[in-house]
Structure 1
């Protein structure tokens, strides 16, 4: 999730990297809808964003947004490509920690209404991530 001018970057820097889960309630609308395919066990709404962040922060405690570009804002929509890195130090969707360094990307598009994120569309390269953790062999 993220929204408005620079909210995607704020989400990745302050929430994903910094662990400020309270910011999710500040940035997100109670009517938030996520159109991205959920992870196993991920609830809907703002609780789903918290689940997503906690899952990634526990699996990759040193997670960093290596790049957030390009970022585009058009009316009530914001979009960005994000490249994340981290060290696999905790369980991720049934795969035990490997100590592997990972790098994967995603695209986020959000719609903002009254300063809050109301919708998110995204695509995360989970195949690349799961290959790097050894969960998927190719």
Structure 2
């Protein structure tokens, strides 16, 4: 990403898809605040990020990044749309594994201070993902 910090891309490629949870402490500030609606049981702060990643990696062990675009940087803010895909091989929020393949997206906005993420705003299309595993009927 020209001119940007690329922290969103690093998070999704190295932490979410790659499984490097140790990188959370390198990318995120101890003062991290997440403004996205938490998942059931998700704690605050960096522990909440670990919970989020572990939940998705357990449910979708083959989770991968399909796309990260567009990415935008303005001062201390970075934003991107991320598309993830994977196969439902583990329990997710009470739904037993189905073997279904899912693809869903999210929008992330982060504020960076001293090279670390201090705030996050986001919206993940959980409804689409839950529909794809059969947890929600429409």
- Does residue 118 in structure 1 map to residue 113 in structure 2? no
Task: Please give the residue correspondences for 1:1-138 in structure 2 after superposition, counting only pairs within 5 Å.
Answer: 5-138=5-138
Deviation at 1:5, TM superposition (A): 1.1
**For residues 31-58 of structure 1, what are the alpha-carbon distances to aligned partners after superposition, in whole Å with 9 as ceiling and x for unaligned?**
0000000000000000000000000000
**For residues 59-84 of structure 1, what are the alpha-carbon distances to aligned partners after superposition, in whole Å with 9 as ceiling and x for unaligned?**
00000010000000110000000000
Report the Cα distance in structure 2 between the residues aligned to 1:127 and 1:77, rounded to whole angstroms: 27
Instruction: State the superposition RMSD in angstroms.
Output: 0.6
Report the Cα distance in structure 2 between the residues aligned to 1:66 and 1:108, rounded to whole angstroms: 15
TM-score, with structure 2 as normaliser: 0.97
Deviant stretches of 4+, over 6 Å:
none
TM-score, with structure 1 as normaliser: 0.97
The total of aligned residue pairs comes to 135
Q: Structure 2: which 5+ residue stretches go unaligned?
A: none
Report the Cα distance in structure 1 between the residues aligned to 2:7 and 2:30, rounded to whole angstroms: 17
Q: Structure 1: which 5+ residue stretches go unaligned?
A: none
Report the Cα distance in structure 1 between the residues aligned to 2:125 and 2:50, rounded to whole angstroms: 19
